């Protein structure tokens, strides 16, 4: 969950409603996991872990020096909790879907690193990865590896997506392959082919549900994989972190 350490003087953990609607719409029940170590116990009641969007990772979390970027929404507590959730869910072989910051969380957990600010690294990119358009508006294409799990999930190999990130994956995490890129080369999706469902996308499909069949397909695939996880002998619900 997103964490505002000092939102109007009152710290809060929160989630955008569109995640909840997308998970419910795919037939699962979201369980929200506060950024507290006790939340790890809630994974026992979950069949899938959805890692949501949010603020920037502290560069220290992936062993990098602060490059002086304008970070926003940095929360060391959230960084630590998400890495703990991913480690625990991985040990349980639980399906995981990372969205925006969530794909970056999967990358950091796997030993990857992040581009701290895309405009500084690719100054001549014609794409605006921090789009000014509204959240339901796709603004750039992603080119998906045709034989990948992501391609099968989305049901297409060129997909129009929205884009609300100024960071992206730099070093690819251990065990993962890149399965989608934007036309400027920015990594837009990764998957771990050794796992049942360990997938991350850099865009925000939860905001495109109802507008894009591919977005709906992605949630349907995640929920179906979570259902199979439960049928294999494990537990209840879908965690929305
Ligand atoms: Mn993008």
User: Taking 80 as the threshold, does the pLDDT of residue 230 lie above it?
Assistant: yes
Residue 100 Cα to ligand 1 midpoint, Å, equals 9
Residue 101 Cα to ligand 1 midpoint, Å, equals 12
**Interatomic CA distance for residues 178 and 169, integer angstroms:** 10
Residue 166 Cα to ligand 1 midpoint, Å, equals 8
Token reading at 155: 């049901």
Taking the CA atoms of residue 198, residue 3, residue 27 and residue 235 in that order, the dihedral angle to the nearest 10 degrees is: 70
The domain spans of the chain are 2-115+167-178+189-240
- The full DSSP string for 207-241 is GTTTT-HHHHHHHHHHHHHHHHHHHTT----EEE-
Residue 39 Cα to ligand 1 midpoint, Å, equals 31
**Under CATH, which number does the domain 2-115+167-178+189-240 receive?**
3.40.50.880
Asked if 202 and 168 touch (Cβ cutoff 8 Å), the reply is yes
Tens-digit pLDDT profile for residues 157-172: 999 999 999 999 999 9
Task: Say how many C-beta atoms besides its own lie within 10 A of residue 234's C-beta.
Answer: 15
Tens-digit pLDDT profile for residues 101-116: 999 999 999 999 999 9
Task: Say how many C-beta atoms besides its own lie within 10 A of residue 6's C-beta.
Answer: 8
Predicted structure pTM score: 0.95
């Amino acid at each position: 969950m997103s964490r505002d350490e000092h939102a109007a003087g009152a710290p809060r953990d929160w989630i955008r409603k569109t995640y909840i609607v997308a998970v419910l719409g795919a037939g699962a029940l979201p369980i929200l996991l506060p950024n507290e170590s006790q939340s790890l116990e809630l994974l026992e009641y979950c069949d899938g872990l959805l890692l949501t969007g949010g603020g920037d990772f502290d560069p220290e979390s992936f062993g990098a020096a602060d490059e002086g970027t304008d970070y926003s929404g940095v929360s060391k507590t959230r960084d630590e909790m998400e890495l703990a959730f991913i480690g625990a869910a991985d040990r349980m072989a639980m399906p995981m879907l990372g969205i925006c910051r969530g794909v970056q969380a999967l990358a950091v957990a796997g030993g990857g690193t992040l581009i701290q600010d895309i405009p500084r690294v690719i100054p001549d990119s014609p794409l605006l990865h921090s789009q000014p358009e509204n959240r339901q508006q796709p603004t750039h294409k992603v080119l998906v590896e045709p034989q990948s799990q992501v391609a099968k999930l989305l049901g297409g190999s060129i997909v129009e997506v929205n884009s609300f990130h100024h960071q992206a994956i730099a070093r690819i995490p251990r065990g993962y392959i890149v399965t989608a890129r934007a036309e400027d080369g920015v990594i837009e999706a990764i998957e771990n082919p050794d796992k049942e469902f360990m997938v991350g996308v850099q865009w925000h499909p939860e905001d495109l549900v109802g507008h894009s069949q591919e977005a709906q397909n992605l949630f349907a695939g995640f929920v179906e994989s979570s259902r199979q996880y439960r049928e294999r002998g494990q537990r209840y619900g879908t965690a929305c972190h």
